[in-house]
C-alpha cells in the first residue's frame, strides 16, 4: 500500500491513499498532522490520534474547490476514500450486490441526531441508506456503494406522474393479482427499467439527511384515539423540519460527486416522496442543483 495513511477520528479508522494530497487541504488538517502523514517509509501506515473533529459544510466546500471535479476513489469494498466523507459502515443494513447505480434517492431520517439513526442501524437486518448528512454538514458513508440497502419502499408509477399511462393499467388482473394497489403497482413497475420507472432499492443509492417531523402548532390527535390511530394521524399531518444550509451544501457536493463518478443521469435524483408513498414534506427543502 504505497503512500498510505490512517487518520483516526472519533475512534474510527479512516484510510486515505496518496497521503501527499493532504497538503491540498490546509483547512482540514493541521500542518503538523500533514507532515506526519506524508513523511515516512512509504509502505508503512501512519496513525495520527486527534481530538474529535467535525467536518462542517464550509470545509466540504473548501475541499471541493481545492480538489476540483476529480472522480471519487471507490475501493474494492465499495467504500469512498475522500477527505470529505467519513466512513461509518453498518453491515446490518447491506443486502445483495448492487451491480449498477442508476439513481439517487434523498431522504430525511425522522430522527433528531445522527447517533439515533446509527443506533437503529445496529439492529439485525435494519433498513438504512448509503450516506447520512448530519446537522453540521458532516457526510458519513454508512453502507458500501456496491451493496443494496432497503431505503425506497414500494414504487409509485412514474408513468402516471409523467402522464404516460392511465390508472386503469394498474387494475387487478391475472398478471397482477395482488389485492393491494400498492403491491400491485410496485410489481408492475419493477418489470420496467430506469428511466421508464423510478430508481428502486435494486439500483439506487440513498442519502439520509438528519431531520425530524413534528405536528404543526394546534394539531393533535383526538384524545380518545388508539395508539395506532395516533400514529396514523401523526404520519398524515406531521411536517419535516427544514434542511439547513450546511446540509444542503454537503448534499449538493455529494450528489454532484456521485453523479460524475458513477455516471448517474442528473434526471434520476429524487426526493423519497416522489418515488414512494411517504410523507410529502420529507426532504422537501433539500436542494442539490
In angstroms, the CA 11 to CA 27 distance is 21
pLDDT at 180: 95
pLDDT at residue 40, rounded to an integer: 36
Q: What is the pLDDT of residues 229-281, one digit of tens each?
A: 999 999 999 999 999 999 999 999 999 999 999 999 999 999 999 999 999 99
Q: Are 241 and 212 in contact (CB under 8 A)?
A: yes
Predicted local distance difference test score (pLDDT) of residue 25 = 41
103-147 pLDDT per residue, tens? 999 999 999 999 999 999 999 999 999 999 999 999 999 999 999
DSSP 169: G
Tens of pLDDT along 41-85?
Answer: 333 333 333 333 444 555 555 555 444 456 899 999 999 999 999
In whole angstroms, what is the distance from residue 281 CA to residue 161 CA? Answer: 18
Quick one: pLDDT at residue 95?
Answer: 98
Res 280: pLDDT: 96
Which grid coordinates belong to 254? 455529494
Backbone phi, then psi, for 203, in 5-degree steps? -150, 25
Q: Give the total residue count for the chain.
A: 289
pTM of the predicted model as reported, rounded to 2 decimal places: 0.79
Which positions ≥6 away from 70 have C-beta within 8 Å? Answer: none
Task: Note the pLDDT of residue 73.
Answer: 96
Distance in angstroms (rounded) separating the CA atoms of residues 262 and 247 = 22
- Residue among 141, 137, 151 at smallest CA distance from 118: 141
Amino acid at each position: 500500500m504505497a503512500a498510505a495513511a490512517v487518520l483516526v477520528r472519533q475512534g474510527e479508522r479512516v484510510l486515505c491513499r496518496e497521503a501527499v494530497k493532504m497538503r491540498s487541504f490546509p483547512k482540514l488538517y493541521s500542518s503538523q498532522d500533514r507532515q506526519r502523514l506524508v513523511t515516512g517509509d512509504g509502505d508503512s501506515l501512519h496513525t495520527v490520534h486527534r481530538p474529535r473533529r467535525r467536518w462542517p459544510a464550509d470545509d466540504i466546500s473548501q475541499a471541493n474547490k481545492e480538489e476540483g471535479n476529480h472522480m471519487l476513489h471507490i475501493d474494492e469494498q465499495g467504500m469512498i476514500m475522500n477527505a470529505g466523507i467519513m466512513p461509518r459502515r453498518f453491515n446490518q443494513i447491506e443486502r445483495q450486490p448492487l451491480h449498477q447505480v442508476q439513481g439517487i434517492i434523498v431522504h430525511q431520517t425522522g430522527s433528531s441526531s445522527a447517533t439515533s439513526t446509527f443506533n437503529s442501524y445496529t439492529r439485525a437486518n435494519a433498513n438504512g441508506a448509503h450516506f447520512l448528512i448530519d446537522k453540521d454538514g458532516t457526510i458519513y458513508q454508512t453502507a458500501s456503494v456496491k451493496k443494496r440497502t432497503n431505503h425506497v419502499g414500494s414504487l409509485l408509477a412514474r408513468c402516471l406522474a409523467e402522464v404516460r399511462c392511465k390508472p386503469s393499467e394498474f387494475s387487478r388482473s391475472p398478471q397482477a393479482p395482488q389485492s393491494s394497489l400498492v403491491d400491485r403497482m410496485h410489481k408492475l413497475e419493477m418489470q420496467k427499467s430506469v428511466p421508464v420507472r423510478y430508481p428502486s432499492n435494486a439500483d439506487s443509492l440513498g442519502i439520509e439527511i438528519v431531520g425530524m417531523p413534528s405536528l404543526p402548532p394546534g394539531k393533535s390527535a383526538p384524545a380518545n384515539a388508539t395508539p395506532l390511530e395516533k400514529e396514523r394521524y401523526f404520519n398524515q399531518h406531521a411536517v419535516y423540519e427544514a434542511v439547513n444550509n450546511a446540509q444542503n451544501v454537503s448534499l449538493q457536493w455529494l450528489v454532484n460527486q456521485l453523479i460524475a463518478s458513477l455516471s448517474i443521469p442528473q434526471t434520476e435524483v429524487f426526493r423519497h416522496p416522489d418515488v414512494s408513498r411517504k410523507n410529502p414534506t420529507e426532504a422537501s427543502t433539500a436542494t442539490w442543483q
